[in-house]
Structure 1
């Protein structure tokens, strides 16, 4: 009945749109007391838009945007897509020697000089002090900041309710890990009621943080959607990927939210807990009945039919009790 309970729990989860890849991940989900979330594309829609472009040197705003779009030409990051979409009607220069450094940004050569587009990690300390709080993206040409770009995202409609529901289920710690700026991370964290957040993280930093959270938690679930989330998904006790996220994230995960949103997450937790409760009840019931028959047999009071009931009968009852998870 124990394997059937797992199969029934996995089947019940699939009915609500959550694909769990094995019984041990269902158990990890049931025991989770900490949920860690990526921000962009997970707690937020991931549909970014460029709000404002500021030219900080002898360049126009259109030139700054065009240079940024050229530098992001081959990037699939949501911010890069938003910049390229905004600049689609501009004259985009041709660059060479394209590079992309996860967590930093992109770089290329323009007229033999380095053009960079990324977050605060591409800035010097003095540049961070001057421009660091003004925007999400910075365009640096030959070591000089020539412009900044402000990009915004919208929080998913279901995110706040999901965080509240998880806390109502007894989850002790909700955490957001993001490579985005501290200002944006703080804003989203306060809006959703998340307990803790860490911002401006590299993929390796996310992995370090998840390992630290695991040391202080019974079980940790990480929810993410991007290719840079794959190592963290693998390192968590139960990695949950958004169904519309990257293939690498889905492959590295232990469960998938097939609808591509967070709505079914709390349902999956409830099903996982119900599954583990069913397993514990079945085991306890079977042991108690068998123990009672053994004691009666020791004193000569157990008939043959009692042994049959204690073995086959209990097995049938446990199987029927486990199968109810599919309803």
Structure 2
């Protein structure tokens, strides 16, 4: 019976409102007070039923909820035969709950829109070579799928054949179409606007980028910040305190109507709902704009960030470097380049890819006894030769002599903004390559926006040489820049900043960034970075779109301000109403409930403003 009544709460609200309207029409037209009172009694009983059930359920778990206060107020109104107040209070309370739920659902529209974008079917290649439509859950990794114009990409995959343009707004928040061709990566939930492509499934189900986005947003919206936990604790003691105050007022004044009015006015509804609605709306806005905020606590910390630390490669730069200059110190360049290519093809480092692209087609030799020197490079045996590939520090570690000519070349290469890849064979330097990365388009403008948003210190930490780091730093106008840093050095530097009292955010994209992402107050991962970096971080910028970072900072600051505004509105309304009860005669139970519900709507509507937030 309880479940049935609660499931019909909206219908009960409507019936209660109609009965109240009929009662007043009869009173004004016929003047029949007895019928007027009986209709209001029926309306009160209808209205209080779901409220009383919720109050009972709360008391069973030893919680004195708002429903308990309203139920007691309605019972008190019955005792003093004020049926008009009891009917209006129950209707306003139920109607306010209906509006509250409806507007809250709108703040959760981002996650609803995301789930609606989820693909449901796919055209899968069967054993006979034909494509058949199947449920997306029936797709496994390695399956070949056909995507036609206008269809959603069902999984994360790689294009095998065909070309087309894909709208990746569900992943990046940006509706600009992206061209796709053979070997391009595609993501589940994106839409092929033109063309036809065949893809091989790399990730399916919850493992897709889109699946992870939905999971992260759902977890974030269900999480609670420190402010919310404080309000929960506050309400736990506040509500019983209102009961005690009401009882004390009745004992002193012997005015039961005044005591009942205090019960109604003391309902902390706006205070309880104000902070969560701000958080949900802020997280929803972020999800729609390619920014994943992993929870309410992240918003609080991120809004206070005064120092932002960046990795260089793949964060401030494109992460797709190329060889800009090469110097040989041997007559057997082809042989050495073959050794170098053999070693570099086993690495997934951006510099290794640049070197391989520069060398081109070579006959690879077997590589043995590979040793990765952290922050230095690689040492291995190739065709019986000891080959060292890395930076100057590795050469010194291998006791390789760098003569004056080489030292001069090192200075010149670094001055020109190059990262160095030196190759030594059997203890002698043979080749020096200068590899240069390009700064991301628009990064300088985005960094200026961060400063205008209150981020005082912009710091770059990189494993690259100091010369390259300084060039990038000067071009971007950073506060500090430090090169030749190992992963542990970066983590130690962030620890030092935190000990100085700074609120630190770290932005990176690689596995070596994970310690720093975890140690910083806020870890921010570029969305096309590694899974480890994304899992370790607090904020994810989808599709590695650096321009989303100022939006994220501005959004969290606006959300934090919005929370504070809602708390002030909620507490202010209660104080004004209680002052009105004790020091004036304009506040009664019905007016109190009306203002109380209006304050709930006010904080919800204030929170919903965040859904339309955008950086200027």
Q: Shorter-normalised TM-score: what interval?
A: over 0.9
Q: Which deviates further from its counterpart, 258-267 or 210-219? A: 210-219
Q: Which residue is equivalent to 1:146?
A: 430
Q: Which residue is equivalent to 1:133?
A: 411
Q: Which deviates further from its counterpart, 250-259 or 172-181? A: 250-259
How far apart are 1:289 and its partner, in Å? 1.4
Q: Deviations over 1:131-177 (max 9, x none)?
A: 35355111122332222111111111111111111112221100000
Give the one of 49, 62, 78 matched to 2:334.
Answer: 62
Q: Which residue is equivalent to 1:41?
A: 314
Give the one of 48, 67, 79 matched to 2:351.
Answer: 79
Matched, 1:287 2:571: yes
Q: Which residue is equivalent to 2:14?
A: none
Contact 2:494 2:516 (C-alpha < 8 Å) held by counterparts? yes
Q: Deviations over 1:186-210 (max 9, x none)?
A: 1100001111011011010010111
How far apart are 1:220 and its partner, in Å? 1.3
How far apart are 1:67 and its partner, in Å? 2.2
Indicate the SS of the match to 1:148. strand
Give the one of 367, 387, 393 matched to 1:95.
Answer: 367
Q: Distance in 2 between matches of 1:102 and 1:271?
A: 38
Matched, 1:223 2:507: yes
Q: Distance in 2 between matches of 1:98 and 1:285?
A: 65
Indicate the SS of the match to 2:543. coil
Q: Deviations over 1:280-302 (max 9, x none)?
A: 00001111111222233344644
Q: Deviations over 1:65-108 (max 9, x none)?
A: 33222222211110011112222322333221223233221121
Q: Deviations over 1:208-257 (max 9, x none)?
A: 11111223354211111111111111111111111111221111111111
Indicate the SS of the match to 2:606. helix
Give the one of 154, 159, 174 matched to 2:458.
Answer: 174
Contact 1:54 1:61 (C-alpha < 8 Å) held by counterparts? no
Contact 1:53 1:61 (C-alpha < 8 Å) held by counterparts? no
Contact 2:388 2:395 (C-alpha < 8 Å) held by counterparts? no
Q: Distance in 1 between matches of 2:474 and 2:290?
A: 29
Q: Which residue is equivalent to 2:134?
A: none
Structure index of larger Rg: 2
- Higher-RCO chain (CA-CA 8 Å, sequence separation at least 6): 1
Q: Which residue is equivalent to 1:201?
A: 485
Describe how 1:20-35 pairs up with structure 2 within 5 A.
20-35=293-308
TM-score by length of 1: 0.93
Indicate the SS of the match to 1:170. coil
Indicate the SS of the match to 2:602. helix
Give the one of 256, 259, 283 matched to 2:540.
Answer: 256
Indicate the SS of the match to 2:528. coil
Instruction: Go from structure 1 to structure 2 and tell me whether the alpha carbon gap of 1:173 and 1:217 turns closer, same or farther (over 3 Å shift).
Output: farther
Calculate the aligned-residue CA RMSD, in Å. Answer: 2.0
Matched residue count:
326
Q: Distance in 2 between matches of 1:29 and 1:175?
A: 16
Matched, 1:165 2:449: yes
Indicate the SS of the match to 1:212. helix
Indicate the SS of the match to 1:123. helix
Q: Deviations over 1:24-58 (max 9, x none)?
A: 112222111111111011111111111222222x4
Indicate the SS of the match to 1:133. helix
How far apart are 1:122 and its partner, in Å? 0.5
Bigger fraction of residues in helix: 2
In structure 1, list runs of 5 or more residues that go unmatched.
none
